[in-house]
Amino acid sequence: MNQVWHKVAREDEIDPDEPLRIRVGDAQIALCKVDGTVYAIDNICTHEFAELSDGFIEGDCIECPLHQAQFHIPTGKVMSAPADEDLAVYAVKVEDGDVYVQLEQASGA
């Protein structure tokens, strides 16, 4: 598997109070801005199928809109039940206002 950078958004599209839902191939990702830094996390809660991009950002945590599980945005770690599995976190870089997320790409893709 190769790691590939995907241009996914403009930094000014990401509101610090509201996650931005994006899709790269099969990956559903939420972009979040915390203290001026952009993070990319799985958009689907690990407890039950709910989109975190419909949730709430408080400080450096995101709360699931379905059952209020909370996750630490920079690390993806579970901060409160009912979730008990961490989120995947993706590498992010910002160049000239463009946001890139790094994902694996299958060989030959």
pTM of the model: 0.91
Predicted confidence (pLDDT) per residue in 8-21, tens digit: 999 999 999 899 99
Domains and CATH numbers, the chain: 2-97 (2.102.10.10)
Predicted confidence (pLDDT) per residue in 33-89, tens digit: 999 999 999 999 999 889 999 999 999 999 999 999 999 999 999 999 999 999 999
Q: Torsion angle, CA of 10/69/64/34, rounded to 10 degrees?
A: -20
Please tell me the distance from the alpha carbon of residue 1 to that of residue 65, in angstroms, as a whole number: 34
Peptide bond into 16 cis (omega under 30): no
Please tell me the distance from the alpha carbon of residue 34 to that of residue 42, in angstroms, as a whole number: 16
Per the listing, tokens 């209020």 go with 68
